[in-house]
Structure 1
C-alpha cells in the first residue's frame, strides 16, 4: 500500500480541511519574524556590509524552537536580494553523512561554488582530508572574485564530527576573501566536539546572536483544532511511535513495534500526510523537526526509552550490524545501565577499524552510561583512548583518562587506561607519557602484554625528556619483558630508545641500524609513529636530507589515512624541519604552521610546538619575514639566524642531543662572546663525532667548518664547502662559503670575493634574503660591486617592496585569477605553501581579498606604465 501525495509539496493548505485555511496557529515553529525583528535587523545589517569586504562568522545560539532556522532562512532570503552568492547546509541528526552539511550546499545565482567531486573525495578519503579542506577553502576564496559569499550552516549540533572539524578549519581560519559564515546551534548540547567547535569560532572572533526561549507552545494533546488532535487514536499512536524512532516513519518497522497490521499503519500514516504533519516523500519524513519533537515529547520518557530499546532489539534480531543499532541504544539507555554500556563497547570494537569517526560518539556514550567510579567506566575509557587518538583527539582522551584514575581500579583495567594515555602522549607530549608509563609498569597483576609497552614507553619518555641515565637503567629490563611478551609495539619502542642512546653516544651507524629495525618491528596496521619519525629525523641529522624528506612525505600521507590522524602533527613538524634542511624555507614554514594548527586541534604536545616554532623562527630570521621573526622570539629571544645553536629542534629526538649542523654556529657564538673554552669543547665534540662516523661526510664537513672558525683556518672551511657541495644541504654550504670568503679576505681577495658571491647565490636560491643582504654588505666592504648583485635598500615591512621574489610570483598569478592549486602547479610548490604566501601578501599589501589584490596589482602596472 502506497502513501499518496494529496497536495503539491510546498503549496498552500488544501481547501476545506479543518484548521488548514490559515486559522491554525503555528505549532512549535518558534518565534515569528516580528518577534525576531531585532535579531534579524542585526544579522541583515552584517550581511549588508559583506560587499564591503566585512566577512567573518555570525553564531546564532538558542534553545529548541527559538527561531534559529527561521532566522537563517530569512537571512538567506535577504542575502539573495543583494549581489551575494549563498550556500546553504543543514545538519541531520539521524543521517550523519561525512561532510554532508557541505555536500548539501546548493549555491544561489546559478554558479557552483565548491566542486562536488572534491567534496565526494573529502567524504570518502580521510588520507587527504587536511589538504583537501585547504583546497575547499581555496575554492571558497576563489568564488569571492565573482562577489561576496554567505555560507549558512543550520543546526550545527547535528552536523557530525567531520563537518565540525571542517568548520573549525574553514571558518575559524582568517579568510582572504569576503566570506560571511552564518552558523546556528542549539544551546545546552553536551557534545565535546560541538563545544570545541563553538569555542574555536568564538576564539577566532565570531560574533554571537543569542535567541531567547519562545512562548510556551501549544501541545498536540491539548488542542482539538491542531492537526494532531484531528487524527484517529490509532494514527496518533502510530505517529507518536514514529516521532520517537526518528524523522522518517517506516510503515513496516512501525507495524512490527506497535503490533498493528501493516495495512492499518499505512492508513494511519496517510492520515498524517493528509493533515500536513508528514511529507509524502520517499521515504516519508516529518514536515518539521519541531513538530516531530513536540509529538515525541507527549510520550513519557520511560516509555520512549522502552520503545527505543525494543527497536534496537528488533534490529539486532533481524541481523542488523550492532554499529547501526548503537545510536538507538545510546539514546534509550540511562546512566548506570551497564548492559547498554557493554553493548556500546561491542559496537565500538566493531566500528573501530572500519569507521573510527563514527565509533567515537558511541565510545563517549559508553563512558557516560557506565557507573561513575566503576571499573566498567574505566574499561570504557580504555576502549575510547586509542580510538580518540586515532582520529586526532588524543588530548581529549588523556583528559578522559584522568577522570577515572583518581580512585582504585583493578590492575588490568588501570594498566589498559595508562597504556592508552602513554601511547597517545608519545605522539608529542613526552612529559605526559612519562608518569603513565612509570605508574602502569609498576602495577602488580598487569599482564606482560600490557606491562611490556608500558615499560618501553616509560623508558623512551625518560630519554625524550632528557633523563639519559634513567633511560639507560631501564632499557635492559624493558628489552627483556618486550622479548618475553612478544609485543611488537614494545620491541619497536625499545629499539627506538636504543637507537637514540647510540646517537647520543655518537654512534650513528648503530643508531640508524636499530632505528630501521624498530620501524620494521612496528605492527601493521599501527598508529605508532615515533620510530619512523625518529628514523627520518636521523637521516636529516646525518645530512641524508632527501632520504629523510621522502620518508617524511610518505609519513604525512600515511597519517592522513583513516584512523592514523594522531601522527599528523609529528610528521608535519618533522617534514618542516627536513624541508628547512633542504633549503626550502617557504615550504618548511607552511608545514610548520600546519603542524601547529593540527596540534592545537589534536592536543599534541610541546615537542611538536617547539619544533614547529623553531622552524618558523628560523625561516623568519633567514627571510626577514617580520611576523615569523616575532614568533622566533617566542622560542629563541632573538632573530639572529647564524648565532643560535637551538634552531635544530627535532620533534622526536632526545632532549639535549646536539645536531652537527649547529656546531659552526655554536663556535661562532662562543668566540664572539669570548668563551673560548666552550668553542674548543664544541670543536672537539664535532671532530669526535666525525671520527666515529667515517661514512657520514656531513659530519666531516661540520667538523672542518668548526675547526676552521676556531683556528681562523680558511683552508679547513674551504674543505668543508667542498664536501658539502656533494651532500645536498644548501644552507650549511652557503654558511661555509661565506665564512671561507671572510677568512680569505686578507690573503686572497679574489678567492674571497668568489666564495662570497657563491654564498650569496646559494642563499638567494633558498630565499634567505637576510643572509643575502649580509653577504652583499661584506662584498661592499671590500669594494666589490656587481650589477647583478648590487645591494638593494632594506626590504620594507609593508607595500610591494616588502614582497619576496617568491611572493611576487605568487601575487602575479593570483591577481591573474589563479587558484592556490593552479598557482602551485605553475610554480611546482604545494597548495599549502601558496596559501601561506597569499596570506603574507595580503598582510604586506594591506588587502583582504583576491579581488583587492587584483585591483592593486593592475593599478601598480598602470602606474608603472
Structure 2
C-alpha cells in the first residue's frame, strides 16, 4: 500500500527522511507535522518514515488517535510509547505515572525525563496518527514534551487533517523552542493518479477509468477504491464526483455500497454499524447492535475483509482507512446514527463496560430528558476529572443539559458542574453555574453548599469581598446543617484574613476553629487554621503565622503549604524555606500533590531575589512565564513579570524593565489582586528610577498605613521594602509618607523582635527619616545577620551617604565602597553605578569601576554562574532531570537555563554545547 499511495510524493518522502537524518546527526529535537485531507496518504507517509527510522537506528513508537476515544486520557500517546518491541515507556515507568494523572505538568515532566534518558543511547521517533482526534491531555502533552526534550535527538511525527485548531496551537507553541517541519499533502497530479492506477491494474487505465480518476480530486485513496472496485458502470454514468473536503466524497459512499451490494451477506450493514462503534470494534458488539447471532455475522465480516474494507487481527476488527468508516457512517440517516449510538451505550453498560466507554455514544445519542444518560455522563465526568478536567467539563455540562428543569437530579448534577469548573480552574464559569443554581431557589442547605463551593476559587483570585458577601449570605440562611455551618464560618474567617482588620479576622478564625473542633470537622478546622495563619501574616505576626500553618500540615499531612514557606521567609529562615520548597516539589513530582506548579517557581524566585541571587531569580521568573503559557494558568504571570522588572532595575536596565512592566500593565487588571500588588511596587520603583518620585509616592501612598495595606502592595518580604518606600518619599519630598512607612517598620519590629531583617529595616527607615548616622549605622550592623544582602547593601549605602553629608568623608567612602562591592558581587550593577556616581562626586576614583560594565550578551562570558554550571553538567552527559537534582533546581528551570545558554552560545544541540564547554574548560 505504501508504494502506491506514495506515488507522486517523492519530495515529501525525501523531506521526511532528511529530517530523520538531520535530527540524528545534530542530536536535537524536531517536530514533523504532516497535514492533508482524508485519503491523501498521511498514514502511508507515517509508515514510510517509521520504516526508515527503524532502518537507520531509531527506536520507534507509534500510536493513533481514535475519533470515538477522545475521553480516554493520553491513550494515543501512551500507545505510541508502549507499542514498540522495546517500549519507550517500561511497565514500571508506566505504573509510576498513575498518581500523576491529576498533576498534568508533573506527568509531562516525568515522561520528558524518561524519553530524555532513552534518547541517550539511540535517537527516538514518536509518531501519532490522526492527532485531530486526540484527547485534551494528549494535546497538552504534545504541546509541552518536545520543548522539554528540545536538546535530545527525538523526532515527533504528527499527522493531522487541515485546519485542526488544537494542532495549530500545538505547532505554534512548540515552534518557539523546537524546529517544526510542515509537510502538506495536497492532491496528486493527473500523471501520479494514472501511475497509481497502472500499479494496481498492471496496465494503463482506459478512457472511462481515466475520466473517473480525473474526477477523484487528486485523492489517492479514492483512486485506489475506484480501481479496486472495478468501476461499477451503473453508478458512474451521468454522476459527477464530489470534491474531497470535510465530508466523505459521494463517489466513495456509492462505490463502497455498490461493491457490497452484490454480497448476499449484507456486509454493508456491518460496516455501518461498525462505524458507529468506532475505528475498531469487536464482532460481538456489532452483532448486538444488529440484533443478530454472532455466528450469522461472520459471512459479512469475511466479505468485508476479503474486499479490503476491514482488517481482522483475531481480537478486534478495524476499518482499513478512516474514509471507509466515515463513508459508512455518513450513509446512515442522522436519526439512525443517534438511535444506534444510544443502543451502543446501553449494550456497553450491560456488558460491564465503564461509564467512560459509553459516554461518547451518549454525548451523540442521548436526547433531552434522558435521565439514565445524564447519570452515566455524570459518573464518567467524575472518573476523568482528576486526569482531564477539560473533558470532564464537556461530560458534566452535557449531563446537566439533558435533564428537565423540574427534575430533582438537575440540582444535584448542577453542583457537580460547579465542582468540575472549579477543578478545571474555570472560575467565572463556576460562578455563573452556581448563580444559575441559586436562581432556581434551592433549599437552604443546598444553597449554603453551593456558596461554599466557590470559596477556594474566589480566595485564589483575591476577590475577598465577594467571598465574604457570599459566605455571609449563606450563614444568614436558616436550617443549615452543623458541618456546612462550620465550614462556612471558617471560610468567612479566611475572607477576612487579608483585610484591614486582622484582629476581627483572628477572632472569627478562633470561633470557627472552636466550632470545627467540637464537630470533629477536619476540613473546617484546616480552613480556620489557614485563616488564622493568613490573618497573622497580614498583621505582621510571623511566628504565630508559622505555627498555624504548621498545624495545618500536621492535620492534613503531605506537603509544606505556601503560607508556611512564606512565614519561614519572613522570619529570615531562608534555608528552611528553600529546603521545604525543594522537598515539596520533589514529593509532588514523585507522588502528585495539590499545588499548582507555578506556585513552586514563584516562591523559589521570590526567595532567590530576597537572597540576592538575581540570576537564579530571573531564570525562575522566566520559567513561570513559560509555565503560564504551557498550562494556560496565569495566576503568577503578573508576579513573574513584576519580579523581572525589579531585577532589570537592579541591573540598571530601564528599557528592559519597561518591557516587563508593559506585560504587567497589560495583564494586571485581569489577574489576582495580589499579583496586581506586585506590579504596583515594581511600577513605583520604575517611576522613581525614571525621575518621577512623586508619581511613585502617589502609587505607594496607601501602602504605609498598616500591615494589611502593605500586604496588598507587596505580599512577599514587604517589611524589607519599607526603607525603599521611605527613600521614594524623601525623593518626592513627602515627609508624611516617609514617617508613616517608618512607623510601620517599627510596628513590624515590635512584633518580630528576633528577626534581624525586620529589626534592621526599622532602624534603616527611622534613620532615613531622621537623617541619623547612628541609626543607619545600627541598621547596617543589624543587617549583617540578615539573609537579604540587597537590604544590607542599601543600608550601608545610606549610612555612607549621610556620613558624607555630615562631613565624615573617610568613613563615608569606606561604607560606600563596601556597598559598591556588595552590589557588584550580586550583579546589581544599576545600584552599583548609583553608588559609583556618589563616590565620583566626592572626588573618589577607582580603576576597578571599569568592571561594572554590563555582561556581554553572547558568547561564554555572557553566561551566568548558574548557566555555566548547567552547561558543564550537560556536557558531562547528564540529563535535565539529573542536572536539576544536582543543582537543587526544577527540571523546568533547567530547561529555561538551557534555552538561554543555547541562545547566548548560538548552538542548537548538546553536541555543539559540549564542544564549547570543552574549549573553555
TM-score (norm 2): 0.71
2:568 is the counterpart of 1:539: yes
Cα displacement (A) at 1:661: 0.8
> Which residue, out of 318, 328, 352, partners 1:295?
328
**Measured at CA, do residues 223 and 670 of structure 1 come closer, stay the same or move farther in structure 2, by a change above 3 Å?**
closer
Query: What pairs with 1:276-675 in structure 2 (closer than 5 Å)?
Result: 276-286=308-318, 287-349=320-382, 359=392, 361-370=394-403, 379-390=412-423, 392-395=424-427, 397-398=429-430, 401=433, 404=436, 408=440, 410=442, 418-428=451-461, 430=463, 434=467, 437=470, 441=474, 447-448=480-481, 453=487, 457=491, 460-461=494-495, 464=498, 488-517=522-551, 532-556=561-585, 567-600=596-629, 604=633, 608-622=636-650, 630-632=659-661, 634=664, 635=679, 636-637=682-683, 654-656=711-713, 659-675=718-734
> Which residue, out of 301, 304, 313, partners 1:272?
304
Paired residues of 2:128 and 2:157 also in contact (CA < 8 A): yes
Paired residues of 1:415 and 1:446 also in contact (CA < 8 A): no
Cα displacement (A) at 1:686: 1.3
- Who is 2:867 aligned against? 807
Paired residues of 2:102 and 2:387 also in contact (CA < 8 A): no
**Measured at CA, do residues 239 and 186 of structure 1 come closer, stay the same or move farther in structure 2, by a change above 3 Å?**
same
Paired residues of 1:437 and 1:454 also in contact (CA < 8 A): no
> 1:807, 1:613 → 2: CA distance?
21
Paired residues, number: 823
Cα displacement (A) at 1:691: 1.8
Query: In the TM superposition, what whole-angstrom CA distance separates every residue of 1:655-692 from its partner, at most 9, and x where no partner exists?
Result: 24772111222222323333333223222221222123
2:749 is the counterpart of 1:690: yes
Paired residues of 2:112 and 2:148 also in contact (CA < 8 A): no
- Bigger shift: residues 204-213 or 552-561: 204-213
Query: In the TM superposition, what whole-angstrom CA distance separates every residue of 1:142-172 from its partner, at most 9, and x where no partner exists?
Result: 9999999987543223322321111232468
Cα displacement (A) at 1:344: 1.7
Cα displacement (A) at 1:537: 1.8
2:814 is the counterpart of 1:731: no
Cα displacement (A) at 1:340: 1.0
- Who is 1:680 aligned against? 739
Paired residues of 2:46 and 2:127 also in contact (CA < 8 A): yes
**Measured at CA, do residues 46 and 374 of structure 1 come closer, stay the same or move farther in structure 2, by a change above 3 Å?**
farther
Question: Aligned Cα RMSD in Å?
Answer: 5.7
- Who is 1:15 aligned against? none
> 1:783, 1:202 → 2: CA distance?
52
More helix by share: 2
Paired residues of 1:164 and 1:197 also in contact (CA < 8 A): yes
- Bigger shift: residues 334-343 or 659-668: 334-343
Paired residues of 2:265 and 2:299 also in contact (CA < 8 A): no
Paired residues of 2:63 and 2:128 also in contact (CA < 8 A): yes
Paired residues of 1:570 and 1:651 also in contact (CA < 8 A): no
**Measured at CA, do residues 465 and 680 of structure 1 come closer, stay the same or move farther in structure 2, by a change above 3 Å?**
closer
**Measured at CA, do residues 231 and 757 of structure 1 come closer, stay the same or move farther in structure 2, by a change above 3 Å?**
farther
Paired residues of 2:464 and 2:495 also in contact (CA < 8 A): yes
> 1:49, 1:381 → 2: CA distance?
54
Query: What pairs with 1:727-766 in structure 2 (closer than 5 Å)?
Result: 727-740=786-799
**Measured at CA, do residues 282 and 776 of structure 1 come closer, stay the same or move farther in structure 2, by a change above 3 Å?**
farther
Structure with bigger RCO (C-alpha 8 Å, 6+ apart) = 1
> 1:756, 1:701 → 2: CA distance?
18
> 1:418, 1:196 → 2: CA distance?
36
**Measured at CA, do residues 482 and 194 of structure 1 come closer, stay the same or move farther in structure 2, by a change above 3 Å?**
farther
Which structure 2 residue ranges, 5 or more long, are not aligned? 187-244, 665-678, 690-695
Which structure 1 residue ranges, 5 or more long, are not aligned? 1-9, 13-21, 23-28
Which secondary structure does the structure 1 equivalent of 2:415 belong to?
A: helix
**Measured at CA, do residues 223 and 242 of structure 1 come closer, stay the same or move farther in structure 2, by a change above 3 Å?**
closer
Query: What pairs with 1:22-37 in structure 2 (closer than 5 Å)?
Result: none
TM-score (norm 1): 0.75
Which secondary structure does the structure 2 equivalent of 1:279 belong to?
A: strand
> 1:346, 1:83 → 2: CA distance?
45
